[in-house]
Structure 1
Amino acid sequence: MHIVVPSSSNTFQQSWIASGRILFLIAVSGLGAIGLVVLSALWAGTESDAAALDRQRQLVNARLREQVDQVAHVIGQFGNGYLAGVYPASRAAGVSSSLDTVLTAAAGSAISQTAMSAFGYDQAFVVDDKAQLIMMTDAETEKRYRWMRPLFLPLLKDARLTGSRGTVPSDRTPSSMESRFADTARANRALANLMRLEGRPTIVGIVAVNEAAESQPQPMRQFLIVVRFLDGAALDELSRQQGLNGARFARTADADENEVAFQIDATANGEPIGFIVWRPDLPGSRVIGRLMPALSIAALVIAVLFSVLLLRLRSSLGELKKSELHARQLALHDVLTGLPNRAMFAMRFEECLADPRNSTERSAVALLDLDRFKAVNDTFGHAAGDELIRMAAARIRALLRPDDTLARLGGDEFALLLPNIRDDQTLPSICDAIVAELGKPFPLLRGEAVARVGGSIGVTVVPDAGRNADDIMRYADVALYEAKMGGRGQWRVYSPSMDGGRNARDILKNELREVLAKSTASFPETSSSAPVTGRSDFGSLEVYYQTVHRAGQGFQASGAEALVRWRHSQRGLLTPASFIPAAEEGGLIDALGFWVLREACRAACKWPEGTFVAVNVSPAQLRRPNFAEEVFAVLEESRLSPYRLELELTESSLIEDNSEIYSVLRSLRSQGVQISLDDFGTGFSCLSHLVRFEIDRIKIDRSFVSLLGTKANGAAIIGAIVALSRNLGISTTAEGVETEYQRDFLAALGCTDLQGYFFSKPLPLRELDCFGKSESGAALRTIVPGAIA
């Protein structure tokens, strides 16, 4: 079977690709922006660390220079103080030269001890201008000094130690202010250098300690040399002051990953002395370390959001594409069965007619209709009806050839396109197989119900029927109608002789409309259409009555059921099965039902008290909002007591619109109208209906009664229904009683009333003579079993 699936358009694909590219660019841009933010933060942190490290190095360098200057200043002041206090005193005492030498050595030792103890220098030496020691010392110190002496000699020749002295004019005595100025000048003749001593970074300071005034004779020059090592206590102090974490001295730049090294250069020649290594305080890295987790999480979240957005958009575009394909599918296919719909069938049909090969090869068009589908839909509900449609479509499709087309036109109507019928056996075999398959039972509602419907087919052969598509479809419809009128469950091929029956259903509906108009002419307010004069006589409607008898008390008649008949002037007496479907299709069922109700009430008002008349009510009537008021109007018009009217409902009437139907039935029962449930047990039986709708009578279907004497479960089913009714206080009427055995058995089971051909067949009112009256108004005649065939 051909199923056309429309392909997606290039425009849609291009739009989908372009949208994907745009979203991809947006995602890349967003991720790039996040990356730039992260890189900017890293760059800012790195720059901050570099600035902080450079500042620490500058502070260390400044601190070293400050310590060098401090050493020069301190020893300068120390030398000045010694000149002012020691040497003048020795000269004023008139000490001899030999004694002066001894005193000078002793003074040198004192100066050395004072420099180390008072000022915290590591070493202090008093030497002459040739760097020879002129102080008393131990052998260890003297040996140690010999290693240092070559490094001190260049310092003793530094010009800063022999700078110009402060002088005063020779023609006058210097004032005290001028003397202090000269002393300050001498104090400034001191120097301090950074150098490596004993492999250690060292500040070495030198100052002259015995320089005489300008007017006095110059003695042998003596110098104080002080040594302060920077890799010990001095480095610890520097580390504390400058915040150098873990500072240490290294001869090489062997800093670890988290350390930095600062090179110390000699003051004199700039040669590297060593390195100060420490763990720097890097605020940028600290800030980055704190922000990086948040930035990483933010970047990850944004990346995930962009990814989700991209996937969502791709999914939305995919869903949109599927929706478009689905919309195209719906435009050409039936939603319930997935079959081609009317539009696609028309396309296929036009293609078939336009194909040049079909001018020589025969094809066939068939219309198929399920029989009794409406009864299934009304009895079991729309869900069961839909399930039946799907199952029927599947059965038909399984019987067709690959090139055949099956389409659903709507409701239970299908269309078949059968191309290339090359022999005379193809078409009959297909149609016979379809009719046979549709005649099999359909299990519905998960096996809770079984439907037997059957199907009718009307066929038109192309090109035998002509080339116009509309005419071909009309011919197939005529053939379908003939198949239904011929008894259903069969198929017919159109022939010109069927033209007389064309549009037979419309003709029947028009005739019924005229008959109703004539029958209700005296009651125009209840007619569905105004009476039309001058029309042909298509007969008249009549009401037949089938009596209902009590199970006991001589089986007297307790009432009768009203059944409509159409005495057609041309077709004879028609039963409801012949024209009720046309009345429902033409919207005439309300007027027809109302007419039967009025006629039955008018007849029953003349029957004895205690008898009732039962009238069938369709679901369409119950759904009318003013149905209860119409019934009350008929009762008032006919003067029939409400308790003598019994309205028979089918179970399908109670399946849908329960709330509205419940309101209508409650209003009827409040005035005394009796409610009975017809054909109980054959439809979608629900025990809650008996209680919710307050049913007064259950009518046991004739299919169960017919099982009595043939199958044991027939008696069990009827017994269960009777027991249920007795416990609920509901009357029971058994339909289809045809034998004396059935009558007696049903009476013994406890049925309250009986109905069937054993007592009476449906009769017109004029022949209904079982309601004769006595003086008391009671029924006189007892029906003799089997008296009426």
Structure 2
Amino acid sequence: MHIVVPSSSNTFQKSWIASGRILFLIAISGLGAIGLVVLSALWAGTESDAAALDRQRQLVNARLREQVDQVAHVIGQFGNGYLARVYPASRSAGVSSSLDTVLTGAAGSAISETAMSAFGYDQAFVVDDKAQLSMLTDAKTEKRYRWMKPLFLPLLKDSRLTASQSPTFTDRMPSSLESRRASAVRPNHALANLMRLEGRPTIVGIVAINEAPEGQPQPTRQFLIVVRFLDGAALDELSRQQGLNGARFARTADADENEVAFQIDATANGEPIGFIVWRPDLPGSRVIGRLMPALSIAALVIAVLFSVLLVRLRSSLGELKRSELHARQLALHDVLTDLPNRALFAMRFEECLAETRYSTERSAVALLDLDRFKAVNDTFGHAAGDELIRMAAERIRSVLRPGDTLARLGGDEFALLLRDIRDDDQVLLSICDAIVAELGRPFPLLRGEAVARVGGSIGLTIVPDAGRTADDLMRYADVALYEAKMGGRGQWRVYSPSMDGGRNARDILKNELREVLAKGTASSADSAQTGSGSTRPDFGSLEVYYQTVHRAEGGYAASGAEALVRWRHSQRGLLTPASFIPAAEEGGLIDALGFWVLREACKAACKWPVETFVAVNVSPAQLRRPNFAEEVFTVLEETGLPPSRLELELTESSLIEDNSDVYTVLKTLRSRGIQISLDDFGTGFSCLSHLVRFDIDRIKIDRSFVSQLGAKANGAAIIGAIVTLSRNLGISTTAEGVETEYQRDFLTALGCTDLQGYFFSKPVPLRELDCFAKSEGGAGPRTIASGAIA
């Protein structure tokens, strides 16, 4: 804490220093002796506990490898025995003249039952080299296998199953106990792997159980797959053998304070499967527990002596200290929030700049504004505004570090000074994200009679990276704050030199877009006067692109397409929405632009098959228009598109703001049969009540989850949960970002109703939309002048 001491307090300062030296010597002597004893005991106990815990982990690791080894060995012997005895006997008895049918049907089921009953496996399957079942089984087991099949396919393709070289055994274990793998290859080419199956740690073994005699053609290869789960009886046995108290399996490292977690990794890719959690036997902790009473008594005696001296000193100087603090408070702090005011912030900022000139320390200065404070003042009065300022200050202060400075500059303007950010800006990331999140939560005002949703924007600059004078740094922070507000508010930006020209470049782009729209409007007006054309605005360089959506079954036929906007700029080339939509929103152009895209999309969809739909994105600004629904109905009447073939895509942020008005608009649209979809579900607020309250027809699963399929287990788990929720609510699901055949098949198996992505089609102009070409009759897109927007 930075303190400015008035000259009249010199006597207080000298007295405090003299007394402080005595207290310091006493405290250092006593605490030093106790500290050495405590540290020695703690060190010895910790080392003992670490050695005991390391031994237990090594035993668990060795036992897991033995179990994987055992599965590989047993099924290898089983496979050898079958190939050496049963298989030749079947052939000599004339059971079948075709090797391909020896192990199908009842024979495959018998092998499976033998593996489970004789060797105690939880599940066994006989499959061919394409992972198709080669055995008779009930519907429940067949359904269970379908879920397991995608995980078995990589094992069947493992080159070690078909290798002709001499028998080998592979056991590669990393030095770190946090990453363990085990695999085994046996003389009969048996393979055993650790993996997660049905959310449980599992040993899966596989062995070939047929082969052609020498000189005969090779039949369809068939394999026995056995499954042993490790979280049931196997874990209980491991607990008894290794003396693991209260051993249990957990999907996450949710060990209690007195437990430890041992991570189990998959053999194939090292991906975490889960954790074995138990209460370790820690001899060092027991010893420390016995010493602590004596150490506590000694510390208490020293603390009492120290407290007596401190109380006597404070009683004589307390009144002077209170007087000094009160004077400091009045001079350097804001009365409303008790935060440092502009003067104190300037002092600390200058002190920070002086220190950074002679050190490598990096700091940051930030300016913060509440986004909708004026509306709160105007609506609820200044009393509510003051209450909001106090609550906002408390929320910001709650996420700052002890050494950071938060000051109120006036009104709803705050300043931050963040010292010591040497960890490569991770401190900035966490603090700024936390502040934005706190200010984004509702503020209950006037004893609950009013609720305000304001949010906050932050602009910051680095000291000394961006400059060394206070005026320069504050100006840089102000420029960054402007960028944050222009970027949509409720966010933060770090200053960069490009921002100085960014404001001008943004204004230029906004004016160019306004000219394009104005030119199109003027052209339409001229056409209306001459009677030679439509009165609808002609926006010149705008064009609509389309990306098809495909059904997840029935041959993946196209079920519709999503309309996307592009602007073919004369100097900058083809621009995506991210380049000019913010400028359109800032300049009040988004409504005209959005309805032009809606009209063009509806016009195009009229020429598509009747069972298809067209999806159009709608911005939050459009939804806030009171006559939005009537304008949509007008477009449908003009183009002749049935309402049931139009799907409006919303973001979850559209439902957060002013949701009572949005609810009325969406209810009106739904009453006429227009479909409503929720875009990028799971990446924003993801409030489940929105699905029911706003009567959503479709959920679009974000591409970030689809991209994790095959790489991270979490991706499949999240998608599965979304699909299950949608199915139970009767809501369709579209998976975005499908780029591979594996993703397509996996999403289809999970139950997605529709798929969209580059695997099927990139966004293309209407004239290149091949799947609807027959119905379109070769019609191309409606372009105006030289541009395209989609």
TM-score norm. by structure 2 comes to: 0.42
Mark the structure with the bigger radius of gyration: 1
TM-score norm. by structure 1 comes to: 0.42
